[in-house]
Structure 1
Amino acid sequence: MPLTDTKIKALKPRGKAYQEADEGGLFIEVSPVGLKTWRLRYRMGGRGAKQEKVTLGEYPAYGLGEARAWREDSKGLAARGISPMALKRGDAVPADLPPASKELAARYLKNWCQKAVAKVREQEAQLQHENSVAVFAWRWFEEIAEPSNSNPRNVRRVLEKDVIPAIGVKQVSEVTVEDILAITDRIKARGADQMALQTRNVLKRLFAYAIARQKTQFNPAAAIEARFIAQARSRDVALTPEEVGQLLRGIYQSSMKRAHKLALHLLILCMVRKTELVHARWEELDLEKAEWNIPLERMKKDRAHFVPLSRQAVAMFEELKSLSCGSDWVFPSRISLNQPISQSTLNVAVRALELDVREFVIHDFRRTASTLLHEAGFNSDWIEKSLAHEQKGIRGVYNKAQYAEQRRDMLQWWADFVDSQIDEGRKVIIGRFGKTYQAA
């Protein structure tokens, strides 16, 4: 499908650059910091000839209509044997060209090459200037945040996902309280209040460093009290067995989508993080072997993680396979089968529940499982490995065991235990993977 302005404006940065095609070789490239650049692929001699690629400049400096006009001019040059890439590079126009071709080349140079080079240089100078937020933030990350933080990947994600795309091209001294609030409000709008608070805290440290380096005299993030963004939640919430049963009965009796009910149940059974589940692909799962292998690039600590699956978990994934409509994702978005549900989907679903259960967040499922398994007497090493926690110190260096069979038995016990908590005197049909619970 050809591009539209609406679609282009909706393109968001990702961990690495990606492309969205228009027509006739024209495409827009989105960088990890959110810059959108027009480029064109063409061939000088028809099929089989070497492909060339030339750049126009950034959107919205060049609109969609301008980019398409540039595409037609570029392809017109190529059809006459004149390389747009060579003209952009500054090569001289061949002297033996026919007058009409020389005129076209001269017009192309004036209308596109000279203007594009000037704009690109201007934008690059702005972005690379040492006082821009993008440049200074990465300097702070490399010099201060990464060496001193036990989990620098979280800080990197904050910068890449929410800070740089929003204010990366601004000068550090020009960032206002309104800019910080705009960032945290967007994060809260996707149902991630605690992430909004974490982002404010990262920015507070970033601008404290900027003041120390005399790049600004004001810390706009520190001017916003944390309580005005979100209330910090206790990090020691662990649901009781009775609350686990109440929660799952409430989930299955709610009106949320079946796939979302299964997702929340799987989060409890598999002890994985929310992002590890919602971004799961079918290629990671071997349901015949009852195994889930999460690749290292999707893990918080950049280490691959093996999850033995209980009988209940396998049955849930089998049902999800039929619900995924052939998507590569276990939980495809309702908008497109080519992308997963958003990070906020399950948070929103949980907040809509009316439960007589104390306040909790989805991440507390992992703490709940850890607490109840420890209370049941299971080996701490097995539990920590199931949580993808790595031991520190000498013990961590030498203990690389996966405890695969022990964890398989433990997670099966855990799934059966969770089933028993659902059976609390109320008839609850949760699906073919479970059973019908009758009143006592």
Structure 2
Amino acid sequence: MPRQAIPLTDTKIRALKPKNERYRVSDAGGLLLEVMPSGSKIWRYRYQLHGVRQAPLTIGPYPEISLAAARKQRDEWAELVARGESPKRAVQAAKAEKRNTVAAFAEGWLAEQLEGKSTSYQKTMRRVMEKDVLPWLGGMPLTEVKPGDVLELCDRIKSRGSPKMALQTRNVVKRMYDYAIARRMVENNPAAALVARFIATEESRTRALSGDEVGKVLRAIYASDIRRALKLALHLLVITMVRKTELTEGKWEEIDLEGGVWDIPAERMKKDRPHRVYLSRQAKELLLELRALAGHSAYLFPSTRGSDDRPISGSTLNQAVRALSLDVQHFVLHDFRRTASTHLHEMGHPSDAIEKALAHKIVGIKGVYNRAQYADQRKVIMQAWADFVQAQIEGAKVTPLFKTA
């Protein structure tokens, strides 16, 4: 009959001295403590599977892993052995799972998601992942992320005043985990447990400013103490009807003041199609003043930070407007495009030409028919809109717009 091992105690373990050769002392149930010549002590588990003795499994060093913790691990592995399962495979699976972090998985998922997508979509997705998801969740194993972790991430984003970005981030995480579930990488989606309406309301915006509100906004901008270049930028954003980043990342090489056109290349457009803006008289005057303010920069709106020639960030105009005390409710910069469309339709201008001026796609044969006519109509539209905007500002008899503020 085999001799029963005498259970170890912490006192006995501390009394174990190193020898010239490493040696082992047994606890019970296959748990061993190996004492190395250096004096370090390592927990190991010895077992048989299907009647065959297996190589010992390492649990870890003592005292980092206590006697109680080592016994707990031994018991978990002994249960696997009793079911005829290999604890070694369980250890290997656990290691593989830890290597499969959110960051590691996201790299492959993102590469597949971005393939063939527009430049703007790729920028948005990378921003969501690199700015928020990966710094917060990237180091966690994919299977260990809980709904509370995703909620905490969303709360952090909301705390900086970006509830819609928090909702967008939740949606991106949800899509990533749906992909992981389909490939049997995980069983549960931690983002799916978060009800979208409790993060933010993803509603389509229908806000269009009235003529009076357009005047109020621009008068407040010109009366403020923000930089002159930003005042001109916000005015241009209104009358050119372009998107914010299409304006802030604009380059002088894209603009032909003499010809009265601004050609935005496809890689800077939302739908990856080039877009031509027909410049009104007011837009030309604003650009002439900006040319002097920009100096030797390649950009319409060069950053004032650092020595590199780069444009202002996409958030600069938002920050400038937030700093104003505007008597206009529930207004964001993107509402300018909807505002232009609303008033131009009310003026009776052709809908297709307005859509083209906004760089919206016109489906069907109408989208390719008589482009020259659209060009002529768009020139009329852009001048009519700039005149309308100027009339709203001058309705309060303010200082002429094109004087240095």
TM-score where L is the length of structure 2: 0.66
Give the 3-state SS of the residue equivalent to 2:263 in structure 1.
strand
1:193-219 residue CA offsets vs partner (Å, 9 max, x unmatched): 434432322222222332333222333
Contact 2:147 2:191 in 1 (8 A): yes
Matches within 5 A, 1:92-111: none
Q: Distance in 2 between the 1:204 and 1:413 partners?
A: 45
Mapped contact 2:226–2:320 kept (Cα < 8 A): yes
2:46 maps to none
Q: Cα offset for 1:253?
A: 1.2
Which residue number in structure 1 is paired with residue 108 of structure 2? 135
**Which residue, 238, 249, 252 being the options, matches 1:279?**
249
State how far apart, in whole Å, the 2-side matches of 1:129 and 1:228 are.
24
Structure 1 residues 129 and 367, CA gap change in structure 2 (3 angstroms): closer
Query: Does structure 1 residue 406 correspond to structure 2 residue 377?
Result: yes
Q: Note the residue ranges of structure 1 that are not aligned, 5 or more in a row.
A: 1-125, 435-440
Q: 2:316 aligns with which of 345, 352, 361?
A: 345
SS class of match (1:403): helix
1:156 alignment partner, one of 122, 128, 142: 122
Label 1:229 to 1:335 Cα distance change in 2 as closer, same or farther (>3 A): farther
Q: Which residue of 2 aligns with 1:58?
A: none
Aligned to 1:379: 350
Distance 1:190 1:347 in 2: 14
Please report how far the alpha carbon of residue 283 of structure 1 lies from its aligned counterpart in structure 2 after TM superposition: 0.8
Contact 1:191 1:348 (8 Å CA) reproduced = no
- Report whether the alignment pairs 1:391 with 2:357: no
Among candidates 191, 194, 208, match of residue 164 of structure 2: 194
C-alpha separation between the residues in 2 aligned to 1:182 and 1:296? 37
Cα deviation per residue 1:366-385 (whole Å; 9 max; x = unaligned)?
A: 00001100110001111111
Query: What fraction of aligned residue pairs are identical, expressed as a percent?
Result: 51
Q: Is 1:356 aligned to residue 334 of structure 2?
A: no
Alignment match, 2:391: 420
The 3 A distance-change label for structure 1 pair 155 and 285 is: closer
Residues 366-418 of structure 1: CA deviation (Å, up to 9, x unaligned): 00001100110001111111101111234335565572232112211111111
Partner amino acid for 1:271?
M
1:288 aligns with 2:258: yes
Contact 1:130 1:136 in 2 (8 A): no
Preserved contact between residue 353 and residue 378 of structure 2 (Cα < 8 Å): yes
Number of aligned positions between the proteins = 303
Structure 2 Cα separation of the partners of residues 187 and 175 of structure 1: 18
Q: Could you tell me how far apart the structure 1 residues matched to 2:199 and 2:316 are?
A: 20
Q: Which moved more, 1:218-227 or 1:330-339?
A: 218-227
Contact 2:102-2:142 within 8 A present in 1 as well: no
Letter of the 1:260 counterpart = L
Query: AA paired with 1:392?
Result: V
Indicate the residue corresponding to 2:21 in structure 1.
none
For the structure 1 residues 132 and 234, does the alpha-carbon distance in structure 2 shift closer, same or farther, using more than 3 Å as the test?
A: closer
- What is the one-letter code of the residue matched to 1:135? G
Give the deviation of 1:157 after TM superposition: 2.7
* Structure 2: gaps (5+ residues): 1-98
Q: Report the 3-state secondary structure (helix = DSSP H, G, I; strand = E; otherwise coil) of the residue aligned with 1:252.
A: helix
* Alpha-carbon displacement from aligned partner over 1:81-132 (angstroms, at most 9, x marks no partner): xxxxxxxxxxxxxxxxxxxxxxxxxxxxxxxxxxxxxxxxxxxxx6999961
Deviation of 1:140 after TM superposition, in Å, equals 5.2
Structure 2 residue 229 is matched with structure 1 residue 254: no
Considering only aligned residues, what root-mean-square deviation do their CA atoms show, in Å? 3.3
How far apart, CA to CA, are the structure 1 residues paired with 2:352 and 2:384?
A: 16
Is 1:385–1:402's contact at 8 Å kept on the other side of the alignment?
A: no
What displacement does 1:243 show?
0.9
TM-score by length of 1: 0.61
State how far apart, in whole Å, the 2-side matches of 1:187 and 1:282 are.
35
- Residue in 1 that maps onto 2:207: 237
Matched residue type, 1:257: R
Alpha-carbon offset, residue 238 of structure 1:
0.8
Aligned in 2, Cα 1:300/1:172: closer, same or farther, shift over 3 Å? same
What letter matches 2:403 in structure 1?
R
Distance in 2 of aligned mates of 1:180 and 1:194: 15
Contact 2:267–2:273 at 8 Å: present in 1 too?
yes
Equivalent residues of 2:118, 2:272 under 8 A apart:
no
